Amino acid sequence: MAEKKIKTGVFGGSFNPIHIGHLALANYLCEFGGLDEVWFLVSPHNPLKAHDDLLDDTLRLELAQQAIDGYSRFRVSDFEFHLPRPSYMVHTLDKLRETYPQHAFHLIIGSDNWKVFNQWHEYERLLTENPVLIYPRPGFPVDPTSLPQNVQWADAPLLDISSTFIRQSLRNGKDIRFFLPPTVYQTIIDKHLYS
């Protein structure tokens, strides 16, 4: 009998910074959405894009690591740091499957990304070869009955928090400690990040 694969959600992003919205969603997908675990794939700085307020790769990785500390079903990964740039999700998933054959990877994306999914690199192959989980984002409704076979609607709570909001609030001197894990907030304050 074939060994049961570990159902692993791949949650990619710049996590600039990681916040409670990311964590609550991933937590929901583990506890209620059928995933065994979620890997936070911190994406490296895209050299083709200007990112004035994008923290250094290792710093974003460090903050994400602090954020998940103590919850065994989360993992932070720098996997994409070691792939050719620019990194496309279809190639990342190819490499993940090759490197970790004991895992069944599921791509986690927001409904905002689903609306432009046909603009993703080799999106048809990505869809054919990988299960996709879509979570709700404000202003981007999705009809779950219209989804292709390999795509599943994750009826997760709608959390309208963005990293852009977090960065803007910090720059404006707002005390938003409850939007971030305590250790992450403390590091941001101590190191004067985003201010």
CATH number of residue 67's parent domain: 3.40.50.620
Q: How far apart are CA 110 and CA 26, in angstroms?
A: 12
Reply yes or no on whether the pLDDT at 111 is more than 80: yes
Reply yes or no on whether the pLDDT at 2 is more than 90: no
Reply yes or no on whether the pLDDT at 137 is more than 90: yes
pLDDT at position 86 is: 84
Q: Which amino acid is residue 47, in one-letter code? A: P
Report pTM. Answer: 0.94
Q: Is residue 76 part of a domain?
A: yes
Q: Is residue 101 part of a domain?
A: yes
* Number of helices followed by number of strands (H, E) in the chain: 7, 6
Q: Please give the C-alpha separations between residue 115 and each of 102, 140, 193, in angstroms, as whole numbers.
A: 31, 8, 32
Domain that holds residue 43: 6-160
Mean pLDDT across 57-79: 97
Q: Is residue 175 part of a domain?
A: no
pLDDT averaged over the chain?
Answer: 94
- pLDDT tens sequence across 180-194: 999 999 999 999 999
Work out how many domains the chain is built from and give that number. Answer: 1
Q: Which amino acid is residue 108, in one-letter code? A: I
- pLDDT tens sequence across 16-51: 999 999 999 999 999 999 999 999 999 998 665 666
Which pairs with CB-CB distance under 8 Å and at least 24 residues apart come from 30-35?
A: 30/73, 30/74, 32/156, 33/9, 33/133, 33/154, 33/156, 34/7, 35/7, 35/8, 35/9, 35/73, 35/106, 35/133
What percent of the chain has a predicted confidence (pLDDT) above 70? 95
- pLDDT tens sequence across 153-175: 999 999 899 999 999 999 999 99
Q: Please give the C-alpha separations between residue 184 and each of 4, 26, 55, 72, 187, in angstroms, as whole numbers.
A: 35, 17, 13, 18, 5
Q: Is residue 148 part of a domain?
A: yes
Identify any residues that bridge with 11 across adjacent strands, giving them in sequence order: 40
Mean pLDDT across 106-118: 96
Q: How far apart are CA 32 and CA 155, in angstroms?
A: 9
Q: Is residue 181 part of a domain?
A: no
pLDDT at position 116 is: 96
Mean pLDDT across 68-97: 95
With beta carbons less than 8 A apart as the criterion, state whether 31 and 72 touch.
no
Q: Is residue 182 part of a domain?
A: no
Is residue 3 very low, low, confident or very high in pLDDT (cuts 50, 70, 90)? confident
Q: Which amino acid is residue 41, in one-letter code? A: L
Q: Is residue 103 part of a domain?
A: yes
Reply yes or no on whether the pLDDT at 52 is more than 80: no
Q: Is residue 109 part of a domain?
A: yes
Mean pLDDT across 107-134: 96
